[in-house]
Structure 1
Amino acid sequence: MVKFPKAFLDSIAAILPPQLELDDFIAISQTPLRRSIRVNTLKIGVEEFVQRMEGKGWHLEPIPWCDEGFWLNWDKPGAQLGNTPEHLAGLFYIQEASSMMPPNALFALAGQPQTVLDVASAPGSKTSQMAARMNNQGVLIANEYSSSRLKSLHANLQRLGIRNVALTHFDGKVFGPTLPERFDAILLDAPCSGEGTVRKDPQAMANWSFDAIEQIAAVQKTLIESAFTALKPGGTLVYSTCTLLAEENQAVCHWLRERHPELVEFISLGALFPGAERALTEEGFLHIWPQIYDSEGFFVAAIRKRGSMQAQAKPPKLKSFPFTPAPTRTVAELRHYLETQLGLSLPDEGQVMARDQELWWFPQALNDFIGKIRMNRLGIKIAQVHKHGFKIQHEAIMALPLTPTKCVELTDEQATTYLMGRDLPMDTPAGKGEVIVRWTGQPLGLAKWVGSKLKNGLPRELVRDQIVSV
């Protein structure tokens, strides 16, 4: 049961819109969130996914502010969605419905930006949503301050077949001074007190205090100033939190406008989706009380930069860049191996780079950021070169365009066996060398023919002890 401090409820009562009741807020906060998922359109179309899963007993209710989002009713309430084959194949992402709104707002207003910054990206729900909206084009810089969360962020991107993201590991305040006016669009889903998450985490209010809010708001102001500085003139910044009081929401946005009154323009989100007006503030922000849409509490604001700040870049001290363009012959040999042995192709909008015996694929748009900021992970690792050829990496299997003629299609039972890390005895004629295994048209990973069986090549960290059958 959620226990709210009296001071918090008094503050909520003071700002709650007149059409809403405090008792309704308290009541819905004691109820669990509805399960919600987002279809990964880099792997499968929305209509195809819905037909596929409803045929397996899922009831999917559309989320009005995200065409790819659905509330899920499933007759296995205790089952782990993350262990379903569809999830492991990257067909969907488990994401709270409200958190789908900030990326949708950004792309509704910014169109198809080519350079995007996600200031606080882990665990990757919004990053992957934006990468899908970009259709793996351009470049998305995904930053995460917590080093412990970078690994899970990369794992999510790999599973979903994303290849246009570069990961950075900084305090978000560095982007304004380091990369002034370099991004078409920026999402700042700011660290916050988390008041809106109590339906998911009843302990979210355990350490709540006005002193803590004041400290967090100071951090948020630093981050929004940095993000606004990094935004190109004419670009769009979306600021969001999963908290409710104005000190971390409206006040932060007004603070930015007071600092830059000629440059900051608030953009109304009242037409973002049918029913958005129910959460609209006088400034055009969305202040999402949980009882309005039966969701988490959330806040979303959209800001346009009306002109240049004339900010000067402060280049960081960087070590020498460890990658060089791969030799033409090596690229040709790699391309030939990928196409003839595995049915994979290298996208045209990028280049193959080498680091020692590693071969990587970088999106072309990444060139503008090389040498200007330190990046922890760039593009995707395709292969390790050894004396007998290439050892292809799992992330390449998941992210590169695939022609299915070279693949081995698995049954449901075989797919379960593969995802549990076991080898596959095969009744079909034995092949030779490495092969991609697919299930219902989706790549799962690599295997290697050894006699009449396929030796499992799934990376150990991706093996599951149990697979949940849909």
Structure 2
Amino acid sequence: MDKLVLPKEFIDKYQKLLATKASSFFTALEAEPKKAFRLNPLKANYQKVSYDLSEPVNGVEDAYYGEISGRDIEWVNGYVYSQDPSAMYPAEALGVKPGQKVLDLCAAPGGKSTALLSALKNEGLLVANEISASRAKNLRENIERWGASNCLVTNEDTSQLAKKFPHFFDAILVDAPCSGEGMFRKNHDAVTYWSQEYVLECSSRQKEILNEAVKMLKTGGSLLYSTCTYAPEEDEKICAYLVNKLGFKLVKTKVNVASAGVPAWGENLAGIEYARRFWPQDEIGEGQFLAKFILSKASDTEENIDDFKQKNKKRRKKAGKKVEIFTKAEKELVKELLASFNLPVSFDFSKAAKSNDHVYIPAVEDTSQIKVLNNGLELGILKKGRFQPSQQLAQYLGQMQQERVVELQNQAEFEKYLHGETVKTEKKLKGFVLVSYQGKIFSFGKVAGQVVKNFYPKGLRV
């Protein structure tokens, strides 16, 4: 690993802030980063993986230290997610329950969203939002791989999202854009854009995001604020802002690892010791900060909900959006394919809808006025009297043991399929089948004779 060269201003700042503890902090920044991964409890037999599970991440369910490869079947079919161990704790600390409505406001690339989906267990709703279009694309792919059906993926500005979902969510996770000091050890490039001015700029942006986030939270709802920086201006001082300006109360979380928040850095705020600081010398992972809050009073700046709903209704009516008819014949085509596979208990075809010939089961019925990348579970696409199932459906069906499956025989066949090539089978099957490797479903194929036509999406091919 190349030597980490820190800005003098950064060194001076943390020598002053940490005093006698500064030496251990700077020494730890020279150590090798730790790597970890989470297993996906939504998948069938999810603990049957080829990775070493002997070193769990303390206090995080289904999480282990170790390195995984994006070429392994476990990654391709969503059995695992590679994530910095410290970054696993915010979703754990939020403590969501099945059935809740949850927002991951700054969601890409998807580590926290997939953890929240695991906790929801196919019940309730997750809205995973990312303002960057390119990062939102990666977010969508990672959520698709996870195989959940109860997620709305959006690419929207926070203020626009707040107009759409006033006082709607039971829990919100804001992993805010920050100065990235906690990533210095892992990503030396992060050092090049650091300055104290940038820290203050990030702090200002964090407040703007939180001003909108509070509008979307129910009174009594939970907000988890996190960053990957050490800067008090972006951590404890933001906690003070949430309490003093936005009506929040700091509360304890179930996360009891790492170090406590520092009272002197957060206006000696009551409960700041409940916040957790992940320093490199804690030997857990990279730099991270988290704090959990309860909204004790509703935002004074939000419109009345009934008024807002009426305005939304008028906008939709004025827009005159044409509703696509999902015909009985089309429904039968889809049902015929689905009948060949074992469906999770959460599956409800009665809610199925059609848009531009794409058939899906929406997680949110009305998505007007927001940019949506994926809404719930896409089943597939109708093409001239036939129905072609989607990659997301294949990943979703991986939650259950299936019979209509072609099992690839070796690594060479698996790699051929990832390349987009056909493979052969001796199974007496015809039509669409699920394709798996090492017992793990990852795609659809279509059997004609002894050939399995490749339906692994072109955008994912290696």
* TM-score normalised per structure 1: 0.86
Query: How many residues are treated as equivalent by the alignment?
Result: 438
Determine the C-alpha separation between the residues in 2 that align with 1:379 and 1:320. 24
2:80 aligns to what? 92
Determine the C-alpha separation between the residues in 2 that align with 1:412 and 1:399. 24
1:279 aligns to what? 260
Q: Which amino acid aligns with 1:285?
A: A
Cα pair distance change 1:45/1:402, threshold 3 Å: closer
Contact 2:98 2:123 in 1 (8 A): no
Give CA deviations for 1:350-395 in whole Å, capped at 9, x if unaligned: 71111232211213xx23x534644332123212223342111111
Cα pair distance change 1:191/1:114, threshold 3 Å: same
Contact 1:344 1:403 in 2 (8 A): no
Q: Is the counterpart of residue 445 in structure 1 residue 443 in structure 2?
A: yes
Determine the C-alpha separation between the residues in 2 that align with 1:301 and 1:133. 19
Q: Is the counterpart of residue 302 in structure 1 residue 292 in structure 2?
A: yes
Q: Which moved more, 1:136-145 or 1:20-29?
A: 20-29
2:268 aligns to what? none
Determine the C-alpha separation between the residues in 2 that align with 1:322 and 1:165. 24
- Which residue, out of 56, 60, 63, partners 1:66? 60
1:45 positional shift: 5.4
1:279 positional shift: 3.5
Cα pair distance change 1:44/1:344, threshold 3 Å: closer
- Which residue, out of 117, 122, 145, partners 2:103? 117
- Which residue, out of 236, 239, 245, partners 1:259? 245
Contact 1:323 1:353 in 2 (8 A): no
1:101 aligns to what? 89
Determine the C-alpha separation between the residues in 1 that align with 2:232 and 2:173. 19
Determine the C-alpha separation between the residues in 2 that align with 1:448 and 1:300. 47
- Which residue, out of 224, 233, 236, partners 1:247? 233
Name the SS of the counterpart of 1:62 in structure 2. Answer: coil
- Which residue, out of 8, 11, 15, partners 1:6? 8
1:77 aligns to what? none
Give CA deviations for 1:404-444 in whole Å, capped at 9, x if unaligned: 12222232343343233222122x24422221122233212
Contact 1:437 1:446 in 2 (8 A): yes
Give CA deviations for 1:191-233 in whole Å, capped at 9, x if unaligned: 0000000111012121221211111111100111211221101
| Residues 319-398 of structure 1: pairs in structure 2 closer than 5 A | 324=324, 326-340=326-340, 342-343=341-342, 347-348=347-348, 351-363=351-363, 366-367=364-365, 369-371=366-368, 373-398=370-395
Determine the C-alpha separation between the residues in 2 that align with 1:216 and 1:350. 45
1:129 aligns to what? 115
2:222 aligns to what? 236
Q: Which moved more, 1:172-181 or 1:154-163?
A: 172-181
Contact 1:433 1:448 in 2 (8 A): yes
* TM-score normalised per structure 2: 0.87
Cα pair distance change 1:248/1:392, threshold 3 Å: same
Q: Which runs of 5+ in 1 are unaligned?
A: 74-79, 465-470
Determine the C-alpha separation between the residues in 2 that align with 1:212 and 1:439. 47
1:177 positional shift: 4.2
Cα pair distance change 1:194/1:337, threshold 3 Å: same
Q: Which moved more, 1:435-444 or 1:206-215?
A: 435-444
Q: CA RMSD in A?
A: 2.5
Q: Which runs of 5+ in 2 are unaligned?
A: 264-271
Q: Which moved more, 1:314-323 or 1:186-195?
A: 314-323
Cα pair distance change 1:320/1:409, threshold 3 Å: farther
Determine the C-alpha separation between the residues in 1 that align with 2:335 and 2:84. 40
Contact 2:276 2:289 in 1 (8 A): yes
1:100 positional shift: 0.6
Name the SS of the counterpart of 1:83 in structure 2. Answer: coil
Give CA deviations for 1:231-263 in whole Å, capped at 9, x if unaligned: 101100000000001001111121122214xx3
Cα pair distance change 1:388/1:183, threshold 3 Å: same
1:467 aligns to what? none
1:190 positional shift: 0.3
Contact 1:71 1:97 in 2 (8 A): yes
- Which residue, out of 178, 181, 187, partners 2:167? 181
Cα pair distance change 1:100/1:322, threshold 3 Å: farther
Q: Which amino acid aligns with 1:356?
A: N
Name the SS of the counterpart of 2:339 in structure 1. Answer: helix
